[in-house]
């Protein structure tokens, strides 16, 4: 079941958004739960429990504003799709930092709201199909690639670092890369990263979650091009 959150410090716009979404989601036969939060702090508490798939987040909130809230959510994990809600289009470009999927201006235009929501649901559905079978002993287990941060190679073993934890298996990074979607990019002889999970880059490093990973000179140019492309993709 899809978990959807609406965070706005004013009750009226929360209700207006819900009144548009609920009947449309029911018409689309999308099984879901909608949660409302009046502050960024309460949204973060709820996220730790429910790990929302889709979040409508007001930027101009009292206390912890929408951008601060988004940073906090991304520090927990990269799972939820963020759609910013704002009355001021000047805030839109700040969304790149926290990988916002899109933005919606107040007052709501129903067609635009539903068009963007439909695209977000397609993204979620596509992500649900992004799995890789990891060899585990005599069998295998499914790894959700959408929530995988990066792979690290050590000797004959590769470790997958995901939001759900770590898993190790025998293999070669070159062989693994050839089997993964294009959003996995090589940054070093030992590291293969999910470009969608990279939040920041430096001269010789990439930041994913709380980790700072090395970027080698041989892979730097291709990585920066891929990162720039991901940042410019507003879907």
What pLDDT, on the 0 to 100 scale, is given for residue 234? 40
Which range in 124-128, 209-213, 218-222, 226-230 is most confidently predicted, on average pLDDT?
A: 218-222
**For residue 91, pLDDT beyond 70:** no
Q: Lowest mean pLDDT: which of 24-33, 134-143, 149-158, 166-175?
A: 134-143
pLDDT-derived band at 27 (thresholds 50, 70, 90) equals very high
Among the three residues 97, 128, 159, which one is the final residue of a domain in this structure?
128
On the question of pLDDT at 137 being above 80, the answer is no
Asked if residue 122 and residue 10 are part of one domain, the reply reads: yes
Look up the CATH number of the domain holding residue 146.
2.40.50.1020
Say yes or no: 105 and 162 in one domain.
no
One domain, residues 197 and 209: yes
Do 103 and 159 lie in a common domain?
A: no
Would you state the structure tokens that stand for residue 188, as one six-digit string? 């070093």
Boundary-marking domain end, from 110, 128, 146: 128
Residue that is last in its domain, among 93, 128, 163: 128
Same domain, 49 and 87: yes
Asked if residue 84 and residue 150 are part of one domain, the reply reads no
Supply the CATH number for residue 118's domain.
Answer: 3.40.50.2300
As a whole number, mean pLDDT of residues 58-82 equals: 89
Domain identity same for 119 and 66? yes
Mean pLDDT of 60-85: 89
Whether residue 15 sits in one domain with residue 106: yes
Structural domains counted in the chain: 2
Q: 169 Cβ partners below 8 Å, 6+ apart?
A: 134, 135, 136, 157, 158, 160
- Closest C-alpha among 35, 30, 41 to residue 18: 35
Instruction: Give dist(CA 69, CA 60) in Å, integer.
Output: 11
pLDDT exceeding 70 applies to what percent of the chain? 91
Residues spanned by the domain of 96: 2-128
Residue 233: pLDDT band with limits 50, 70, 90: low
The kind and range of the H/E element at 12 are: helix 11-27
Query: Mean pLDDT throughout 177-181?
Result: 90
Please give the residue that has the higher pLDDT: either 81 or 96. Answer: 81
d(CA 216, CA 187): 6
The reply to whether 106 and 168 lie within a common domain is: no
Q: What is the pTM of this model?
A: 0.59
């Amino acid at each position: 079941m899809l978990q959807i959150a609406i965070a706005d410090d004013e009750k009226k716009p929360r209700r207006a958004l819900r009144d548009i979404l609920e009947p449309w989601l029911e018409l689309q036969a999308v099984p879901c739960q909608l949660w409302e939060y009046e502050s960024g702090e309460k949204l973060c508490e709820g996220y730790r429990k429910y790990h929302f798939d889709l979040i409508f987040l007001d930027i101009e909130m009292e206390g912890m504003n929408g951008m601060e809230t988004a940073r906090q959510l991304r520090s927990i994990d990269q799972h939820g799709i963020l759609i910013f809600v704002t009355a001021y289009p000047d805030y839109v470009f700040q969304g790149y930092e926290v990988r916002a999927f899109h933005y919606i201006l107040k007052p709501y235009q129903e067609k635009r709201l539903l068009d963007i929501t439909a695209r977000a649901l397609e993204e979620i559905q596509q992500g649900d199909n992004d799995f890789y079978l990891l060899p585990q002993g005599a069998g295998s287990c499914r790894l959700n690639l959408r929530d995988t941060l990066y792979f690290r190679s050590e000797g004959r073993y590769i470790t997958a670092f995901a939001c759900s934890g770590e898993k190790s298996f025998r293999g070669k990074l070159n062989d693994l890369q050839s089997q993964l979607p294009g959003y996995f990019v090589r940054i070093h002889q030992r590291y293969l990263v999910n470009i969608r999970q990279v939040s920041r880059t430096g001269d010789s490093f990439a930041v994913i979650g709380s980790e700072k990973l090395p970027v080698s000179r041989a892979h730097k140019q291709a990585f920066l091009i891929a990162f720039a492309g991901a940042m410019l993709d507003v879907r």
